[in-house]
Structure 1
Amino acid sequence: MLKKALLAVLLVLVILGIIYRELISYGYMQAKGQVSILFNTRPVSEVLQDPTLPDSLKQRLKLIGEIKKFAIDSLGLDSSGSYTEFYDQGGKPILWVLTACEKFQMKPKQWSFPIIGTFAYKGFFDTTRAHTEEKTLLEAGFDTQINEVSAWSTLGFFKDPILSSMLYRGEGSLANLIIHEMTHGTLFVKDNLELNENLASFVGDYGAVRFMEAKYGKNAPQLERYEFRKRYNDALSQHIVRGANQLDSLYKKFAPSLATSLKDSLKTAKIQHIVQSSDTLLRGLVGKKYPWRGKKLPNNAFFIGYLTYHSQQNQFNKEFNERFKGNFRAYLSYLKTKYPTSF
């Protein structure tokens, strides 16, 4: 009887292995990449004593400690062991994300993972695997995009390290990044990536400004420089979000019988208009620095990325200022109650 039971269990495991072989293979590769990083970190306290590390980068390491303390003490984000270890990337990217979207729908491809839920992007520690999967999606008719990743959150499952590439960011940008990732560790809703990323973007934006104010003062040139760059980034982001909504409206008007060639033509014309109309933003500043200027036109996957991170900023800002009168701790407490972490 026991032998039969064991054989039955083994058979079930074999069947599950066959059915989920791609997920198992992917999970193994991701775990391998994450473990490799975690096992090759050094305590920040040790790195600060390293005579080969330039003082400018040591100051950035100390700054991250200040940012983390501010996020916990002043914003109320959850404390964790993250950002107490350092990982040297050797000047190379270590993680890439693949995004895919329907060709004539503003509908992202979704990937589902155990425990953490559904995501509109897929991460890879191996760029070759990322491009292999991208090729499959392109052949299936999707718009795709692969981006390098500057940071990520393991949602409290591990201690997220400081990556060496972070140390070359400006102070405000670094504060935004750290607070963004700490927000994920404080509040994360399963199967709602757009909410999670938009909330983290909102908190990162707000928290970075407050941190710079606290460190330098409200009229400090450091804060003014950061806020100028923020105005540029906000103007660009909202322009692209509006463009994504325009594309969505266009696609919804396509009749099923409309020829693919005509759909492509109309889509290209709309995207060209979105790119060219950026010339009017901030007296032309955004248009001159537009990230796709002189390059291949963006596709739906590019626009989906902006929707994922920036489509709800106006709603969060309005609720925060009108309902909570700028009281961030009260707002965060409300959000934790409204969106309890679901794993």
Structure 2
Amino acid sequence: MLGLGGCADLGYYWQSVSGHLQMINAARPVDELLGDAHASGQLKARLALAQRIRNFAVTELKLPDNPSYRRYADLQRSAVVWNVVAAPEFSLTLKTWCFPVTGCVGYRGYFNEAEARAEAEQLKADGLEVSVYGVPAYSTLGWMNWAGGDPLLSTFIGYPEGELARLIFHELSHQVVYVKDDTMFNESFATAVERLGGQRWLDSEALRGNEKARQDYAVFDGRRRQFRALALATRRELAAVYEQNTAPAQAIPGQAAMKSIAMQRFRDEYAKLKASWGGFAGYDPWVARANNAAFGAQAAYDELVPGFEALFEREGRDWQRFYDAVKRLAGLPREERRKALQTTNTNNTDNNTETPNG
């Protein structure tokens, strides 16, 4: 999140620090809000749910027990930060920015949307494809627990129950394992934890008589899985096109034509999906900005998830053993990490072991 070096980076560093401090200063303890006569009943119900999810994260998923998500901040805006991602015209490889704590990552976050869009325009002027999107939450990796940790935010407190649980589990998992300079490893691990943990939460709620939360989530997640399968197919098609990137300059028009065909196929197939969903339009904004940058950013969250889910199965669905195994992977060089996850997933598939839905 933070980077420093030169006047331009100094400005970015300042907006990062000041934006985070404003958020922290706006946060109030959840227990205090639950006892506040002026807080709405709806907010209190959501905060109480979030605390049950937070406790479940500790007792059932063995995620860190610390001050994170024990306070709440109303930001009075739609996102906590806006991320800027960028990629070349014929590549899904994201441009990276390097910072002292997080290492090199494939995005740059701004607390002010206008500043994010100004950065995007500069990147476009450099010939890159760019995507700007709002982010509901981010993790400080446990570094700020001394100051109250990462708070619950108005940007996500109203999420459906299954999504709220997934988000909290995802962000907490970054405090368990985080590897500098490997966004795909970090985000795929967190996505695996959110999927596996989210399903366990919903199953436990169903046993308590709250079957509706699981049913509602099944519909939502079914659509997400269909959309991600379509996006994965498109990424693979585009990657095949871009493998010709070393061809002579005269081949570029042909590449552009094949890219255009792939993108049109993606939009056509999405229209069919949307129709099958009864017109549910939740992915319209993503599709509207779909380009190399958007597809590249999504890959970071999805690409290695099957390997992590297979590793969870291999470790007997024991959370602590799973985390210990992931920490061992984190100590390997990047390519060895990827290969180990791919091998685990292949072996798991060969043994006909089903990974859980999450």
Give the structure-1-normalised TM-score. 0.86
Moved more, 292-301 or 243-252: 292-301
What residue number does 2:353 align with?
none
Measure the CA separation in 2 of the matches of 1:278 and 1:38. Answer: 39
Q: Give the 3 Å change call, closer, same or farther, for CA 294–23 of structure 1 in structure 2.
A: closer
Q: Give the 3 Å change call, closer, same or farther, for CA 336–93 of structure 1 in structure 2.
A: same
Which segments of 5 or more consecutive residues in structure 1 lack a partner in the other structure? 1-16
Deviation at 1:190, TM superposition (A): 0.8
Alignment of 1:206 onto 2:196: yes
Q: What do residues 241-281 of structure 1 show as CA deviations (whole Å, max 9, x unaligned)?
A: 22112101111124232365443332111111123234666
What residue number does 1:265 align with?
257
Measure the CA separation in 2 of the matches of 1:268 and 1:134. Answer: 22
Moved more, 329-338 or 69-78: 329-338
Q: Give the 3 Å change call, closer, same or farther, for CA 286–341 of structure 1 in structure 2.
A: farther
| Contact 2:274–2:280, Cα closer than 8 Å, also in 1 | no
Deviation at 1:337, TM superposition (A): 2.9
Within 5 Å, give how 1:163-178 maps onto structure 2.
163-178=153-168
Measure the CA separation in 2 of the matches of 1:39 and 1:98. Answer: 25
Q: Give the 3 Å change call, closer, same or farther, for CA 258–291 of structure 1 in structure 2.
A: farther
Measure the CA separation in 1 of the matches of 2:121 and 2:286. Answer: 24
What residue number does 1:8 align with?
none
Deviation at 1:231, TM superposition (A): 2.0
Residue identity in the other structure for 1:332: Y
Measure the CA separation in 1 of the matches of 2:250 and 2:35. Answer: 66
Residue identity in the other structure for 1:137: L
Aligned to 2:262, the other structure's residue is in SS state helix
Aligned to 1:314, the other structure's residue is in SS state helix
Measure the CA separation in 2 of the matches of 1:340 and 1:162. Answer: 31
Alignment of 1:139 onto 2:139: no
2:90 corresponds, among 104, 112, 120, to 104
What residue number does 2:176 align with?
186
Measure the CA separation in 1 of the matches of 2:6 and 2:77. Answer: 35
Within 5 Å, give how 1:273-312 maps onto structure 2.
273-278=265-270, 284-285=276-277, 289=281, 291-292=283-284, 296=288, 298-312=290-304
1:329 corresponds, among 292, 310, 320, to 320
1:127 corresponds, among 100, 110, 113, to 113
Measure the CA separation in 1 of the matches of 2:269 and 2:248. Answer: 29
Q: What do residues 167-213 of structure 1 show as CA deviations (whole Å, max 9, x unaligned)?
A: 21111000000000000111111111111011101101111110111
Alignment of 1:244 onto 2:235: yes
Within 5 Å, give how 1:29-40 maps onto structure 2.
29-40=15-26
Measure the CA separation in 2 of the matches of 1:190 and 1:45. Answer: 35
Aligned to 2:63, the other structure's residue is in SS state coil
| Contact 1:89–1:164, Cα closer than 8 Å, also in 2 | yes
Measure the CA separation in 2 of the matches of 1:133 and 1:286. Answer: 37
Measure the CA separation in 1 of the matches of 2:319 and 2:271. Answer: 35
What residue number does 2:206 align with?
216
2:57 corresponds, among 62, 66, 71, to 71
Residue identity in the other structure for 1:335: V
Measure the CA separation in 1 of the matches of 2:158 and 2:198. Answer: 16
Which segments of 5 or more consecutive residues in structure 2 lack a partner in the other structure? 334-358
Give the structure-2-normalised TM-score. 0.83
Instruction: Please tell me the root mean square deviation across aligned C-alpha atoms, in Å.
Output: 2.6
Residue identity in the other structure for 1:83: Y
Moved more, 176-185 or 56-65: 56-65
Larger radius of gyration: 1
